[in-house]
Amino acid sequence: MVPVSLPEDQNNDNASSSQQLETTLSVITGMESTLYRAAAKGKIDALEEQGHLDQLLTPNRNTVLHIHITAAKSDDETEFVQEILEICPPLLLQTNVKGETPLHLAARYGHERIVKLLIRQAKTDHEDHERFQQMLRMTNKEKDTALHEAVRFGHRKVVSILTKEDPNFSYSGNEAGETPLYMAAKRGYDAILNDILHNCSSPATSGPNKRTVLHAVSIAKNKEMTEKVLSKFKDLAKQEDDNGRIPLHYAAELNCEDVVMLLLEHDKFTAYIKDKDGMTALHIAASKGHHIVMKEIISLCPDCCELVDNRGWNVLHFAVQGGDMDAVRVIVDDYSLSNLINEKDVDGNTPFLLNATSFTYSSYLANCPRVDKDAFNKQNQNALDIVSRSNEADINKNRCKRKFRSKGIRSNLRIARIHTQNSVGEEDDEYLSNIEKLSQAQLIAATLIATVTFAAGFTLPGGYVSDEGPLQGSAILREVTAFKAFMITDTIAMVLSIASVFTNLFVVSHGDKSMRLSLAMLSLCLTMLSMGAMVIAFVTGTYAVLAHSTPLATATAVIGLSFFIFFYIVFKKLIAQFREQV
């Protein structure tokens, strides 16, 4: 061992200060390379002459025994361990800085024979049974025992040895809250889990976040292990975790039908247990669209359908929100559950109204004669009102509005009276202000287009015939097809822009709000069409004068007509919006 001490205070005049400093100084230890390699390779000759092997340490306070067990490539390397323990018995329980004993390392790396040797040595050297148990139950700084280490890395034989040697110890959770039993369940080590259940009389079942081993096997969707755990720990089916969820909640969420049925057959009243959000296993299955699990729960506990969560949602609310029609059919097709179809939550939303809040349209619900399609929530909104008054942008919004209208649903049946009483409210003011801004912008654009196209009609591309004769003053390119297209599209652009200006005159003057919006949308459509016609006029006009330079004329036409890619996308959305408003 080579100790390296930190510098000491040399001030002899202050003895007390120097003494205090010495007590706080740390000593960094190190092992000579020849001794380290001898320990790793199991060469006892190089270590026999060394005294106090328990003081021969690495910086992490690993002993020669720690080093050898870690470096061992084969489980047969027990001779060195035996000889080292005969030379220095205290090494058996000596720990490194992580609190790990040689048994921890032997269990971690699955060295079955070394584990047996360490246990045999503990029994031989210490007749006191408590001393032997101390080695098996010692925990490192992560509160892991040797059994934790063996389970973590799936060493079944080591697990079997350790559990048979100390079957009455419960092995509590480590720093992460995991017991060996929970670790085996979470990792899917069925054989190890079975060995612990068989060998230990009362193993601890807890896991992190107040979960248990039954939570773990349910999440792993392991029916066989779920059955074995239930047979030994009957009360775990109702054990809640930090979220208030029992194993049945997780089995339902993961759509594990076998485990769901097993848990319900063990204790069907678990179907009525709610988590912290008030959700039952049936609610969770419905929200995920697991219709088969829903049927199984309902078949055993049909009245659990009456339960609602903290928002007042019943199972049909969850099925509608999940968007799976098979889950919706499970409830709607069961006439004994008809009372759920029009049940309202705390906001007054029925499942049909909740359908509207997510901009989805369920034809199955809409066509069901038992659904109240004219229902109103606490904000006096029906399905069409909810969709129409939402500020959220969604591609399905307009589709839903058309579908709801096709079912005879009309908007503002209750809200209209509220607005007539307060027609000068802030919402109306903002609404009318937006229409006026839209109208002003369109008026400027339409006027500009009308001016340009009017001027282009008299400033013809190619010029006029100046020679005297019957054709004097006529267009030089009058017989060219491109020129004819220019004149027609220029005239169309001018007429459409003037029509847009004309329509705008009525936007400000009309008193009805919906009519003003319709006129504004019409004016916008006319303006956009005039823009398209103006672009075509430009392309045909330039093509007419550049006809003798085909590459240049073609390039100009392609660049100009690329405008219609953007035009198509915007105009298509505008038309759809216009249809919704008129």
Q: Is residue 317 part of a domain?
A: yes
Report the CATH number at residue 102.
1.25.40.20
For residue 522, give both structure tokens: 């019409």
Residue where one domain finishes, among candidates 138, 168, 184: 138
Q: Is the pLDDT higher at 450 or at 284?
A: 284
**Backbone dihedral angles phi then psi of residue 184, each to the nearest 5 degrees:** -65, -40
Give the pLDDT score at 286. Answer: 96
Helix (H, G, I), strand (E, B) or coil at 212: strand
Do 316 and 372 lie in one domain? The reply is no
Give the pLDDT score at 204. Answer: 95
Report the CATH number at residue 538.
1.20.140
Full residue range of the structural domain in which residue 576 is found? 434-581
**Backbone dihedral angles phi then psi of residue 157, each to the nearest 5 degrees:** -65, -40
Q: How confident is the model at residue 476 (pLDDT cuts 50, 70, 90)?
A: confident
Do 302 and 237 lie in one domain? The reply is yes
Do 567 and 484 lie in one domain? The reply is yes
**Backbone dihedral angles phi then psi of residue 206, each to the nearest 5 degrees:** -80, 160
Mean pLDDT of the 28-46 span: 88
Averaged confidence pLDDT in the chain: 84
Do 440 and 577 lie in one domain? The reply is yes
Residue where one domain finishes, among candidates 138, 157, 189: 138
Res. 393: pLDDT tops 70: no
Res. 52: pLDDT tops 80: yes
pTM above 0.85, yes or no: no
Q: How many domains does the chain have?
A: 4
Do 402 and 522 lie in one domain? The reply is no
Q: Is residue 180 part of a domain?
A: no
> Would you say 64 and 71 are in contact if contact means Cβ atoms under 8 Å apart?
no
Q: Is residue 271 part of a domain?
A: yes
HSE of 533 in the Cβ direction (CA atoms, 13 Å)? 24
Mean pLDDT of the 512-523 span: 71
Res. 14: pLDDT tops 50: no
Give the pLDDT score at 432. Answer: 58
Q: How confident is the model at residue 505 (pLDDT cuts 50, 70, 90)?
A: confident
Give the pLDDT score at 421. Answer: 43
Q: Is residue 197 part of a domain?
A: no
Give the pLDDT score at 552. Answer: 86
Q: Is residue 427 part of a domain?
A: no
Do 415 and 452 lie in one domain? The reply is no
Give the pLDDT score at 24. Answer: 36
Percent of the chain with pLDDT over 70: 83
Handedness of CA 431, 432, 436, 437 (dihedral sign): negative
Give tens-digit pLDDT for 416-471.
Answer: 444 444 444 454 555 556 667 777 777 888 888 888 888 887 777 777 667 677 76
Q: Is residue 487 part of a domain?
A: yes
Res. 25: pLDDT tops 50: no
Residue 12, burial from CB neighbour count under 10 angstroms (0-12, 13-18, 19+): exposed
Do 503 and 387 lie in one domain? The reply is no
DSSP summary character for residue 348: S
Give tens-digit pLDDT for 314-328.
Answer: 999 999 999 899 999
b/e for 187-211, b at 16 or more Cβ within 10 A?
Answer: bebbebbebbbebbeebbbbbbeeb
Do 324 and 348 lie in one domain? The reply is no
Mean pLDDT of the 135-143 span: 95
Q: How confident is the model at residue 280 (pLDDT cuts 50, 70, 90)?
A: very high
Res. 214: pLDDT tops 70: yes
Give the pLDDT score at 569. Answer: 81
Give tens-digit pLDDT for 523-557.
Answer: 888 888 888 888 888 888 888 888 778 788 788 88
Give tens-digit pLDDT for 60-112.
Answer: 999 999 999 999 987 677 999 999 999 999 999 999 999 999 999 999 999 99
For residue 174, give both structure tokens: 């480590």
Do 470 and 576 lie in one domain? The reply is yes
Q: Is residue 572 part of a domain?
A: yes
Q: Is the pLDDT higher at 551 or at 229?
A: 229
Do 117 and 226 lie in one domain? The reply is no
Q: How confident is the model at residue 570 (pLDDT cuts 50, 70, 90)?
A: confident
Give the pLDDT score at 478. Answer: 75
> What's the rounded Cα separation, in Å, for the pair 111 and 95?
18
For residue 8, give both structure tokens: 């000491």
Do 331 and 345 lie in one domain? The reply is no
Mean pLDDT of the 476-499 span: 85
Do 86 and 104 lie in one domain? The reply is yes
Percent of the chain with pLDDT over 90: 51
Residue where one domain finishes, among candidates 138, 160, 188: 138
Q: Is residue 109 part of a domain?
A: yes
How does DSSP assign 543-570, residue by residue? HHHTTTSHHHHHHHHHHHHTHHHHHHHH
Q: Is the pLDDT higher at 338 or at 548?
A: 338
